[in-house]
Amino acid sequence: MHVMILGGAGMLGQKLAQALAADATPPARLTLADIVVPKVQAAPGMMVEALALNMADPAAAPSLMAARPDVIFHLAAVVSGQAEQEFELGYAVNLDATRALFEAIRALPGYRPRVVFTSSIAVFGAPFPSRIPDDLRPSPRTSYGTQKAMAELLLNDYSRRGIFDGVALRLPTLCIRPGLPNKAASGFFSNILREPLVGLSAVLPVPDSVRHWFASPRAAVGFLRHAATMDLAPLEAWRVVNLPGLSATVAEEIEALRSAAGNAAVALIRREPDPFIEKIVHGWPSEFDAVQAHALGFKAETSFDQIIQAHLEDELGLPSHSA
């Protein structure tokens, strides 16, 4: 089995690669590709390759697909806030490079890999119901959401034609993201927990009443791995899944932080309103039915206490964090 992770240097790509390498039966070959050389971790006997390339380069996708990987995790993307601010770059990476990848697969006779594409709840834009049903049509209100929705349609059509066996996963916002803040409009959801947990200050740009849809990076790795091997027949003609998650307000996040690390940690959060961020986030949905995803076997956390606990265990090496 040859597994390829596009966007392999990113947080999720790295966690996925580590999980695959730690398997009792890891893939025989693992390729990670990104704009910078990804870090790699190999199991004994595993062939690992790390490549630096730009997916927006027309030569990138054909060179990658020449290896005919069995499973392709397409995680590479320009994130939400950056895609809104850098219009051409967002379309070049999130849409044009995705189609180039699909076309590179189509150009190889007899080749039909499993393609797992990370989409986003940003494909939905206001107005929408308070709880999103599985059959609600996409109505993005950002360039990022539009790019993801267009890529979903491409994946669906290429799968329908038998070019590859694809599935698009609409990820909740991942929290708590480890590492440094990025340009995602949703980044503050992680920042206001991650930094205070280690004694650093963080900025909250939206009101405490903002409600959103979350899952941990640990859950996201589980989503991806399940999608790589699951039976896609129940999806029939529409290869897109609204994933399960946790609906919570910023205030509920902060109370979970207080429970885990005390009032001193909460005091490190500075409220600095940012109309640009607030406008984007208010246009995203905050709760999903995810009936289909649950029936297909996808699982996520059910409380913010669990999300914080996963971060403490996975990133800080702690079984718990007391005040």
Domain boundaries, the chain: 2-172+215-242
The active-site residue, picked from 91, 111, 144, 158, is: 144
What's the whole-number mean pLDDT along residues 6-26?
96
| Nearest Cα to Cα of residue 202 among 146, 267, 145, 275 | 267
Fold held by 2-172+215-242: Rossmann fold (3.40.50)
Mean pLDDT of the chain: 95
Confidence of residue 305 (pLDDT cuts 50, 70, 90): very high
The per-residue pLDDT for 225 is: 98
Residue 302 clears pLDDT 60, i.e. is over it: yes
Provide the residue type at 160 as one letter.
R
Q: From residue 48, how far is each of 59, 131, 259 by CA, in Å?
A: 22, 42, 41
144 catalytically annotated: yes
Largest separation between any pair of C-alpha atoms in the chain? 61
Taken as a whole, the chain contains a residue count of 323
Confidence of residue 23 (pLDDT cuts 50, 70, 90): very high
Q: From residue 42, how far is each of 26, 29, 39, 134, 160 by CA, in Å?
A: 9, 9, 10, 38, 35
| Nearest Cα to Cα of residue 166 among 201, 114, 208 | 114
DSSP of 146-175: HHHHHHHHHHHHHHHTTS-EEEEEEEPEES
Residue 128 clears pLDDT 70, i.e. is over it: yes
